[in-house]
Amino acid sequence: MSRPVFVSVILEMSASGARHPLEITWEDGSRYEITRSLYLGRRAARSAGSGECWLCRICGKDLPLYYSPLTGRWWMDGKGDPEPAPAAQPYKAVKDRGRKPAGA
Amino acid sequence: MKDRVILHVDQNSFYASVEMLGRPSLKTVPCAVAGDPVNRHGIVLAKNQLAKKTGIKTGETIWQAKQKCPQLVLVPPDYRSYLYYSRLAREIYRQYTDRVESFGIDECWMDLSDCPRDDGFAVAETLRSRMKKELGLTVSVGVSWNKIYAKLGSDLKKPDATTLISRHNYRSIVYSRPVEDLLYVGRATYRKLRRVGIRTIGQLVAAGPDFLRTSFGIVGLSLYTFAAGLDETPVASSGREIPIKSVGNSITTRHDLYTEKDIKAVTYMLAESVASRLRDAGMAARTVQVSLRDYQLCNFERQAPLPLASQLCSEIAPAAFKLIMAHFKPGQWIRSLGVRACNLIPLSKLNQESFLPEERRRKAVWQLENTIDLLRGRYGGLAVRRGISLADRSLTEHDIKNENVIHPIGFFGP
């Protein structure tokens, strides 16, 4: 199982407009240098969502790093269970303020 | 002549799939995307496979769905995400052909004839795997030589499947299908067809064009063309400009309208959006149309000519309000209200300088309304508001113009 871990990223923007992630900060505050990155285009993440994807070499391992232009957030696939599904709410009738009362 | 190669791509349970993409745990529970019951939009817009198994149907009210499945998890719709993923999907389709025609937010036709890669089935398989790999969404694809069979094909196998309907197999696949599977056979047509003993598409074809023409008129002929695979409607090029025939907005209000003041506030709010959209399009309206639905869900529409072609809220709104009040009976409660400007002409045909005081006044009003448009464009639709809209904010707290969603145009064009 995997869950999305949102990370902060230090990014280099080249003169040609290409983006190279240089460093990420994991949720526990530890920082990791990215020694090499390769842009893969759009990819669906194993954990959740889809976005632009870079294959980043971190501590000798090639790991995908995702960016969603929709939310502006960066994330990686982390270990652990995903956030549980919300519980179903019992149906609560909403008073229709507009319904014509009998005899009106 | 070589047959056309047409694909119909349908994104499976689109709204629900986008929600499950962001929160994968929703895949493990029956889940549906539904509107807000407080605003009286409480219907199921999309549901996942688990919810589908319990018999929940799109368009059902929340209480009906909850009766079928009390564990149903409801998620509010997020149109921004849906539009975003819809655009990304179309970007992928456009890499294969420039003829991509949207049919709603989650369906598209593609015409691959004369394209370097015109093996429809192979492209469909590539599309399916790319959509899964790149967007994380599944699609059903129908491949055929006409739009109708392609659409039928995409509905046959769901989710995540390709159906090929070719000249060799169409009789065995299509003809045995129930007639209501055909595009444009809705409830009313279905009832009429059943009355003459037509239940399958094969029986519709066997009935022949002459019989259908005499029984159903021109529609019967269209149905025959659709059913027999003779439809030759082209797939429109992407980015094609569709001529605007009318501009309208409507709303189901949070509570029914029965006082003149409430009706006026909502009419002005709708007319403001209509007028602003007319100005954006550079069109002027010669007719104003109103549509009403009362608390018993009874609809009616009325229209009236405007004395001068106009794109001003200050002329459209009073005309619409007058029209409503002329047909509004005391004791009637309005649930939903719509204002539409039609019989449009381009403004360029009207732009004649006039020194008449009336024309100069109109010009000043035009400038005023244009300035309000600019302010709203910069600071949001609710930045400048009419005093009347403050009386009951629950009715008028809407940015109608920006919340406006363009619905798919009909198969036969606008």
Instruction: Report the chain A residue with the minimal C-alpha distance to residue B30.
Output: A88
How crowded is residue A34: how many other Cβ atoms within 10 Å of its Cβ? 20
Residue span of the structural domain in which B220 resides: 6-11+86-227
Supply A73's token pair: 């957030």
Residue B149: give its domain's CATH number. Answer: 3.30.70.270
In the DSSP assignment, the letter for residue B348 is: G
Residues B59 and B97 in one domain: no
Which helix (H) or strand (E) segment holds residue B248: the answer is strand B246-257
| ipTM of the shown complex | 0.88
3-state secondary structure of B91: helix
Which residues in B lie closer than 8 A to residue A44 (C-beta atoms)? 21, 132-137
Residues B120 and B49 in one domain: no
- Catalytic residue of the set B19, B60, B101, B107: B107
- Return per-residue pLDDT of chain B as tens, 414 residues: 678 999 999 999 899 999 999 999 999 999 999 987 777 778 899 999 999 999 998 888 888 898 899 999 999 988 888 889 999 999 999 999 988 988 888 899 999 988 777 788 999 999 999 999 999 999 999 999 999 999 999 999 888 899 999 999 988 988 999 988 888 888 888 888 888 888 889 988 888 888 888 888 888 888 898 988 888 888 887 665 566 788 888 888 888 888 888 889 899 999 999 999 898 888 899 999 999 888 777 778 899 999 888 889 999 999 999 998 888 877 778 888 899 999 888 877 765 656 677 788 888 998 999 999 999 888 887 888 888 888 777 777 777 776 666 555 555 554
Of the candidates B52, B105, B43, the one whose C-alpha atom is nearest the C-alpha of residue B74 is: B43
User: Is the residue at B412 inside a domain?
Assistant: no
Residue B66 to residue A91, Cβ atoms within 8 A: yes
Residue A88 to residue B73, Cβ atoms within 8 A: yes
- Full-model pTM: 0.80
Instruction: Report the chain B residue with the minimal C-alpha distance to residue A97.
Output: B255
Q: How far is A10 from chain B (nearest CA, A)?
A: 24
Domain boundary among B31, B55, B80: B80
Residues B51 and B158 in one domain: no
Residues B44 and B72 in one domain: yes
Residues B203 and B308 in one domain: no
| Burial category of B235 from C-beta neighbours within 10 Å (exposed 0-12, middle 13-18, buried 19 and up) | buried
B107 in catalytic set: yes
User: Is the residue at B151 inside a domain?
Assistant: yes
3-state secondary structure of B367: helix
Residues B55 and B24 in one domain: yes
DSSP string, B175-238: TTSBGGGSTT--HHHHHHHHHTT--BHHHHHHHHHHHHHHHHTHHHHHHHHHHTT---PPPPPT
Check residue A104 and give its pLDDT.
46
